[in-house]
Structures are given as C-alpha cells and as structure tokens.
Structure 1
C-alpha cells in the first residue's frame, strides 16, 4: 500500500508542479485546429462514400436484367 501512496503523491506533484498546461487562447486555437481537421476528414470520407455508392450502383445496373 505504501508504493501506491507514493505513486499517487508523486503523480499529483508532477501534474501540479511540472506539467505546463495550455493557456485559454492556446486551448481555443488547438480546439479549432482539431475541429477543422475533423470536418475536413469527414468531408473527404463522405465524398469517397458518395463516389463508391454511385460507382457500385452503376456497375450493378450493368448486370441487371
């Protein structure tokens, strides 16, 4: 149990004293970058899905009676 207590105390000390937390502006900027990248990747995946769906429908229509 002593090792666990020491680990928790050391972890708390590191988080409070040694970690550099981002400021509010840096946090907002990082959030906007992540949001923009997420929207961009979502748009690419949606476009790929649209193209694949159209292509498969066309291929299936060739073999339909």
Structure 2
C-alpha cells in the first residue's frame, strides 16, 4: 500500500510541477483543427462509400 501511495503522490507532483500544460487559446485552436480534419475525413470516407455503393450496384 505504501508503494501505491508513493506512486500517486509522485504522479500528482509530476503533473503539477514538471508538465507544461498548453494555454487555453492553444487548446482551442488545436481542438478546432482536429474538428475540421475529422469533418473533412468523414466527408471523404462518405464519398468513397457512396462511389463504391453505386459501382457495386451497377455491377450486380
């Protein structure tokens, strides 16, 4: 149990003192970039799916 408590205390210390957290504005811009890329990726996958569906329906 002592090792677990020591590990948790060390982890908390590491997160509060040694980790450099991004600023709120950086976090927002990164999130917007991920959202935009996800939407573009979903549209591309949807178009590929639509094309395959139509091609396969015309063959079969």
TM range (shorter): over 0.9
Q: TM-score, normalised by structure 2?
A: 0.96
Root mean square deviation, CA, Å: 0.5
Q: Which residue of 1 aligns with 2:20?
A: 20
State how 1:34-53 maps to structure 2 within 5 Å.
34-53=34-53
Shift of 1:41: 0.6
Return 5+ residue gaps in structure 2 as ranges: none
Larger radius of gyration: 1
CA distance, structure 2, for counterparts of residue 2 and residue 9 of structure 1: 11
Aligned residues: 60
The list of structure 1 runs, each at least 4 consecutive aligned residues, that deviate by more than 3 angstroms after superposition, is: none
**1:59 Cα deviation after fit:** 0.3
Residue 52 of structure 1 deviates from its aligned partner by 0.3
